Structure 1
Amino acid sequence: MAMNADTTLDMQRQINDMKSKTGSPVFDTYQTSLTGRYCSKEMSQLFSQRSRHSTWRKLWLYLAEAEKELGIETISDAALTEMREHLVVTDEDFEIARVEEKKRRHDVMAHVHAFGQVAPSAAGIIHYGATSCYVTDNAELILMRDAMDLLLPKLAKVLSNLSAFALQWKSEPTLAYTHLQPAQLITVGKRAAQWAQDLIFDLESIEHVRETLQFRGAQGTTGTQASFLEIFGNDSQKCDQLNELLCKKTGFPSCYPVSTQTYTRKVDLLISNAISGLGATAQKITGDIRHLAAWKEIEEPFEASQIGSSAMAYKRNPMRSERIYSLSRELQSKPGSFAATLSDQWMERTLDDSAIRRIDIPEMFLLADAILLSLDNVTSGLVVYPKRIDARVQEELPFMITESIIMRLVATGVSRQDAHEQIRVLSHEAGAQVKNEGKGNDLVDRIKRNEFFRPIWADLDHMLDSRLYTGRSSEIVETFCGERGVVAAKLAKYQDYIRAAGVAELSV
């Protein structure tokens, strides 16, 4: 039934009345589910407005300190002292900046003026020689570096979980699947080792972009350092020294050798490729877990009071794996956006990179953080049902021993082609019974009744031991995940974090 205008107006009055009673803006404005539901407090704080704009103030301080160290006498000790005393942007500072930005339509200059109000001795030298990208770009590089430093130990923790799980179940036979159809056997641990190997690649990729990340530094409006060359009286050496000092103060090894007004947006794309790779891996892992849960072989943790479905009370839906899968899908979309931003940077810079990067950069890291938190939780508590796994193995095992039967028959002098045809016919008969009549797999019984197979009848029961068909699965797991394996070597530098970290708690 459609609402009339009076009804709508009445509902709005009720909402406004509730707002006045509750006084909470959180429930009256859009909030991203990443910060409200999924990611960690530390990652959310890192990309907060206070963190970003306080980083701007540090960068202005570092610039002023370096310029003074290089002989700029107009920068006083009092100015530097006042700047140091007001590095954290307060709520009052944000209000000043809000008013300034509305008037000036420039966020950097708004914060320059807000900083100058609380550090009046520095008001005339804040941002001296710099362009806006000195603070915006350098701050983003700092934030992305620090964000990767948050992600890497969490990724290492997930790897540690999977490695321990793989070792625990390294010898448990399970069905392997190709084309999502039963194939020859592997072990539960071998499959987990496959997951771990993909995560190793992600760890290495993120470590690489983290280790090779450089600083933009103080490069001027088009990357020529013209303004700083003028400040330092055409002394090119001091321009180099300025960036060396800035790198030392911010903890970067060096600056990118060539900049435009910005650092090249290729850097963002390289980082996003590494981070989004984690999303692809996480989606693969949780997709496998969801299938295994459907077959009742392996489940993610399920709490005693957890509800799987509001209608179907018996359900044990893999909601954590589904959440990871969903967030991973979004993370994997990010490189396309960063690639488009890079390709659209005409000449030395266009501003159409600004608004989208304000969204893409934080979201990329918030997504990755949320994925790792949930993946840690899932991999810390995977539940295995060995009897169910074995039951499913036994349903398919008669088909899987047919190649061994052929080889044993040939060893007794039987034609390989004849053996293949005989086993093909019986296999299809048994398969038809399973699919058309819903009965069990009776291939072994059919073989025992067929005189052609008499030479290997005595071997059949022994051949139905599933442990005979997992190949080197256990050895592969031990080599990869054991004490001297690849995983242990990669995780060595993260061991303090791994030992201190418990199971990741999910907020919802």
Structure 2
Amino acid sequence: MSAAETRADGRPGPNTVSDVKPSSTPDIRMATLLDMPQMTPTKTAMDAQYDTYQNPFNSRYCSSEMKYVFSPRNRFSTWRKLWLYLAQSERELGLEISQEALEQLEQNLTIMDHEFETAAIEEKRRRHDVMAHVYTYGLKAPAAAGIIHWGATSCYVTDNADLIFLRDALDLVLPKLAGVIQRLGKFAREYRDLPCLGYTHGQAAQLVTVGKRATIWITDLLDDLHNLEHARERLLVKFRGVKGTTGSQASFLAIFKGDHSKVKKLDALVTEKAGFNAATRSTTQTYSRKVDVDVIHALSSFGCTCERIGGDIRHLAMFKELEEPFEPDQIGSSAMAYKRNPMRSERLCSLGRKLSAFSSDVEQTFKSQWLERSLDDSAIRRITLPESFLCADACLILLNNVSSGLVVNKAVIKQRIDLELPFMATENVIMAMVDKGYSRQDAHEEIRVLSHQAGAVVKQEGKANDLLDRIKRTAFFEPVLGELDALTDAKTFIGRCPEIVDEVIEEDVIPALKKYEDKLGAIGNEELKV
């Protein structure tokens, strides 16, 4: 439950259904409560929550910090900050706004619990959320009631606030992603030279190492980190600022008696106060929804990475080579008590798939905008923008948890190598025979026959691969029998895997994470609620 949903004493806040009091102008939420089957207004808040749909992001998957960014309290308090920035800047540029008005605005920046009900009643009456909150804020700051929202349109607060939320949400995502990369980097270092089967087309292929495989995940996550950093950097010069109803700034030009320089300065002052580097020079009533496309694309791309990593872990768990963390009292299956299902990785795939799908929402919304503005973007953005970040946050919690406790089953890995390595070593044996002066074609034919015999034993009899024993018993290969152990040592098949791990960590990971050094220590093992 977000800060906007809970009072300091722990009781639900007034934006919950059960806390709305009857009045001469009933709140629409009370009507909803009264219409619920088998419910009455005397139901407790605890009872009511079990009869109302709960978003899984809130109830199961996400951090309180991310939920607060998109909470009602933060949203409407941010609107108030934007109204304060506007009033302060207008006063600085000579408009008649009293110091008392500014002080009252500043003293009431955080919307209080009881004000949610006031605003809800006014919104039901006016069918306009922004004007409902102008009214509610004016009650707390009566000296400023006449100048709140002076010259602005609704998108001054709604759109500028959304840009602030996108920025602040990215500021939560980036360090968590850096933490995942750091943990996987440590894992890659630890297993930099542990040979394991590589797989192409789902079939056993040339050996790699456990650490080298982890660098594949790291490399993709580094791309996500850079994409999200770039999205944040671009966002800081895309503030909407003060643009008026169609982006012409006509209302502000009228307020400042045709002084273009003051209108331009007003835009710059508000942008600076909001913590942005620059505002978009030309907008419609809204900021371009292409900004949403660029930000959510970066998140959606990260979602693809999540599903890719989760899929790899699930396949390796199927082979019993690698396992995600599994707690002492955890149940893998309600029926099959022995099972250790990779539920974290499965959830990661599920949420990653959902995250990647959000890109379609913002693309369609951007394309469908008409001229200077249409309102068909509003409802979908209320869902897409928060939930895309909540989904990314849930994925990061899972990734941090999984990467902190991956279990490598070395004995199983060796067993699987032993089953396949003799076949892979045949080329080494052939080349060693050539070095001794024998015909490559003769060596190839001899080992081909033995390989098919050993393959039949593995496939048809279910026995261990005995190709090396067959080679040892064949007189043709006597010249290289003394070298056979070296020719079939798994570590001679991993190429530069250990060196690649070192290079990725030293040249890619460490420089990329340098800016997050002061935050990485604060990123602990994220607790999974379920």
Q: What's the TM-score once normalised by structure 1's chain length?
A: 0.93
Q: 2:129 aligns to what? A: 107
Aligned to 2:187: 165
* Partners of 1:385 and 1:78 in 2: CA distance: 69
1-side partners of 2:446 and 2:117: how far apart?
Answer: 84
The answer on 1:410 being equivalent to 2:434 is yes
| Distance in 2 between residues matched to 1:415 and 1:101, nearest whole Å | 90
1:232 aligns with 2:256: yes
Moved more, 258-267 or 496-505: 496-505
Q: What does the per-residue CA deviation read over 1:452-475, in whole Å, with 9 as the maximum and x for residues that have no partner?
A: 434333322222211111111111
The residue type equivalent to 1:152 in the other structure is L
Q: For residue 424 of structure 1, what is the aligned residue in structure 2? A: 448
Give the distance between the partners of 1:148 and 1:29, measured in 2 at CA: 30
2:222 aligned partner: 200
Give the alignment of 1:484-495 within 5 angstroms: 484-495=506-517
Q: Which residue of 2 aligns with 1:79?
A: 101
Q: In the alignment, residue 496 of structure 1 is paired with which amino acid?
A: D
1:306 corresponding residue in structure 2: 330
Secondary structure of 1:485's match?
helix
**What are the superposed Cα offsets for residues 42-93 of structure 1, whole Å, 9 maximum, x if unpaired?**
10111101111111111111111111111111x2212111111211112221
1:503 deviation in Å?
1.4
CA distance in 1, matches of 2:46, 2:38: 12
Name the structure 1 match of 2:8. Answer: none
Match of 1:91 among 109, 113, 117: 113
1:42 aligns with one of 65, 68, 73 = 65
2:287 aligns with 263
How much has 1:299 moved relative to structure 2? Answer: 0.9
Name the CA distance, whole Å, in 1 between partners of 2:127 and 2:36.
35
**Structure 2: distance between partners of 1:19 and 1:316:** 45
The alpha-carbon distance between structure 1 residues 398 and 67, as it changes in their structure 2 partners (threshold 3 A), is same
Residue 474 of structure 1 is matched in structure 2 by 498
| Alignment partner, residue 240 of structure 2 | 216
Structure 2 gaps of 5+ residues are: 1-34
Q: Does the residue aligned with 2:197 lie in a helix, a strand or coil? A: strand
Please give the residue correspondences for 1:69-468 in structure 2 after superposition, counting only pairs within 5 Å: 69-73=92-96, 75-213=97-235, 214-468=238-492
Choose between structure 1 and 2 for higher RCO, CA contacts under 8 A separated by at least 6 residues. Answer: 1
| SS of structure 2 residue aligned to 1:306 | coil
Equivalent position to 2:87, from 64, 75, 82: 64
Number of aligned positions between the proteins: 494
Cα offset, 1:297, TM superposition: 1.3
- TM-score, length-scaled by structure 2: 0.90
Hey, what's the Cα distance between the residues in 2 that align with 1:22 and 1:360? 28
Q: What amino acid sits opposite 2:147 in the alignment?
A: I
* Whole-Å separation in 2 of the counterparts to 1:105 and 1:417: 85
- Using a 3 Å threshold, how does the CA distance of structure 1 residues 421 and 350 change in structure 2: closer, same or farther? farther
CA distance in 2, matches of 1:31, 1:400: 54
State the AA in 1 paired with 2:49.
V
Report the equivalent of 1:498: 520
For residue 25 of structure 2, what is the aligned residue in structure 1?
Answer: none
Which residue of 2 is the match for residue 8 of structure 1? none
Report the residue type matching 1:384 in the other structure. Answer: V
CA distance change for structure 1 residues 13 and 496 in 2, over 3 Å: closer, same or farther? closer
What is the deviation of 1:375? 0.7
Match of 1:25 in 2: 48
Residue 206 of structure 2 aligns to which amino acid in structure 1? Q
Q: Partners of 2:56 and 2:408 in 1: how far apart? A: 31
| Worse-matched range after superposition: 437-446 or 184-193 | 437-446
Deviation at residue 436 of structure 1 after TM alignment: 2.1
Read off the aligned partner of 1:65 and give its amino acid letter.
Q
Q: Using the alignment, how far apart are the partners of 1:41 and 1:83 within structure 2?
A: 27
Answer with 404-413 or 15-24: which moved more. Answer: 15-24
**What's the CA shift for 1:235?**
1.3
Distance 2:338 2:41 in 1: 38
Give the partner amino acid of 1:243: D
Q: d(CA) in 2 for partners of 1:261 and 1:414?
A: 81
Query: Please, what is the CA RMSD of the aligned residues?
Result: 1.9
CA distance in 1, matches of 2:40, 2:203: 60
